[in-house]
Structure 1
Amino acid sequence: MIPKRFFMLKIAYSSIYKHPLPEGHRFPMEKYELLPGQLLHEGIVQEDNFFEPKPIDEKWILNTHTQEYWNKLQYLGLTKSEVRATGFPLSKELVLREITILNGSVQAAEYAIQYGIAMNIAGGTHHAYADKGEGFCLLNDIGVTANYLIENQLSKNVLVIDLDVHQGNGTASLFAENPNVFTFSMHGAKNYPMRKEVSDLDCAIPDGTNDVEYLRILEAQLNRILKDFSPDFIIYQSGVDVLETDKLGRLALTVDGVKRRDALVLNLAKSLRSPIMCCMGGGYSSKISQIVDAHTQVYRLAQDIYF
């Protein structure tokens, strides 16, 4: 008999997540194909843990993004400079991928309300603004999910914990005037984007920060947030580009340090009885196996901590 816990951790995944890019493109799409296989291989999950999201309804795109920008995307009308800012060659297949990822995060959030936690193999597209995309992000799944939860009265106070090495500038911009969404970004001080937005709480850390110092800072910042904000839902951007091996990260965390980081966040959410949706964010280590290994840990922790 398959243990009941296996059916409780719901994970959004679609084969469209691995959108084909031109050979030599530096964005590692392979992880979206390899990660589900690794989770199954290690016995962390079963096939029934996965659900396949469909493209999201346009209503929820326009609840976060402007009509003009959405028209540009769906009719492939971005200028050359706008395409260059996203880092992706624009195509209908890419737009379909993006709106499928959006629904993956939204549906995972609904599952999180039911089971305490749920995941999206992709997502974490925190560089997308209401009216533009950049940094490998066309549409902001964090923003769409938070707005969906609030509009449907599934949440009143959403906390975004963004621990990707790059500041969640698009998310910060989206919720700059919204007191119901608290944006927290802990990121490399000298890393992309060079011009940062203002989150509700930003914590910029220096190049070379190691496990001990990173975890000390993170715990202090989380405690600081909870003095003034009481979340009833958490969105966790769990990028692994904080690894020392990451080509773009410039920090010095080990795989164990990332595991302890994830455990800190998940244990906090459970202690608060606040549902949490985890989306994967970035990861650009030279060896794809290191990226997959680091991402795998948060799924294992989800099973161990919640079920």
Structure 2
Amino acid sequence: MTVPIIHHPAFDANFDAHHRFPMSKFTRLAEILREDGVVGPAGYHVPAPALPGWLRLAHDPRYVDQVLFEAVPPDMEKAIGFRVDERVAMRSRCATGGTVLAARLALAEGLACNTAGGSHHAHRSGGAGFSVFNDVAVAASVLLADGDVEQILVVDCDVHQGDGTARIFAVEPRVFTLSIHAERNYPADKAQSDLDVGLPDATGDKDYLEALAGALDRAHAVARPELVFYNAGVDPHRDDRLGRLSLSDEGIAERDRRVIGFFRDRGVAVAAVIGGGYSRDIEALARRHSILHRVAKEFG
């Protein structure tokens, strides 16, 4: 089996190279996966932009309309970290559509990976922290509404807590949220996930993987999911500009291998998104993100 990989050119909204959000990493990641033969001969699965009705399942309709009609208030754009113009709105819709497609392909094939996604700071009434729409929350809501699954687990290994996702599903018993993050990192005002594992600064590979193993056991025992959304953020890496942890390339790869392997060994479908990663060195950053897709290929 070739693991399905999702990509859309609109994932890159063509920010200025000096912007603090490394937008060009999405284009370079897709190029690397092609160059290195990680993508199968058929190429990428191309998603359609998320429908407004999908977005409204996880977000306030007023906020959805503000994004779609380029009317996001300046204070919220400041919280997001960039202006929400037509390109950003389309990028956010396509990334969300990509996560919906990854989830559906994962249910069919067992495992699928997006080359974007993981915008986990977006909450029901707005965006924050480089997140416009919460793609995982939207995708989970779509699948539940369509009756495709009854129990979902979100495994969020981005270095920042998945606060938006936790808040959106705070009273939804069909979605269990697990966040493994740097305790002292953004956001300052933490949400309450169903299971939070806050790690101290400079946590390295060994301690991280030990914490991960225990968290996966606990989350799986309670959630008993049919589908896992895995946020494979690479910002726990020791060289990440916004991280506070100290994982190596090998540690990131082993983390991905253990998360995917844990659930595939149990017959649970996994839809993976790339999550956060921040560096001025786009080549190094894109290659770091490609670890997810290379590890996923091992399970094909």
Fold agreement, TM-score > 0.5: yes
Structure 2 partner of 1:20: 14
Q: Can you list the C-alpha shifts for 1:103-135, whole angstroms capped at 9, x where unaligned?
A: 111011111111101111001010001111000
User: Where do 1:1-307 residues align within 5 Å?
Assistant: 5=1, 8-305=2-299, 307=300
Displaced runs of 4 or more, over 3 A: none
Partner SS for 2:42? helix
Distance 1:159 1:10 in 2: 20
Q: Which moved more, 1:124-133 or 1:9-18?
A: 9-18
Asked if the contact 2:14/2:24 (under 8 Å) is kept, the reply is no
Distance 2:81 2:41 in 1: 33
Question: How far did 1:39 drift?
Answer: 1.2
Partner SS for 1:161? strand
Question: How far did 1:47 drift?
Answer: 4.9
Distance 1:139 1:214 in 2: 29
Asked if the contact 2:204/2:245 (under 8 Å) is kept, the reply is yes
Q: Can you list the C-alpha shifts for 1:16-44, whole angstroms capped at 9, x where unaligned?
A: 11102234211111210111111122122
Size of the aligned set, in residue pairs, is 300
Q: Which moved more, 1:287-296 or 1:61-70?
A: 287-296
Amino acid at match of 2:286: V
Question: What is the root-mean-square deviation in Å for CA atoms of aligned residues?
Answer: 1.2
Partner SS for 1:185? strand
Task: Give % identity.
Answer: 34
Question: How far did 1:62 drift?
Answer: 0.9
Provide the TM-score with structure 1 as the length reference: 0.95
Provide the TM-score with structure 2 as the length reference: 0.97
Question: How far did 1:260 drift?
Answer: 0.4
Asked if the contact 2:178/2:195 (under 8 Å) is kept, the reply is yes
Q: Which moved more, 1:22-31 or 1:161-170?
A: 22-31
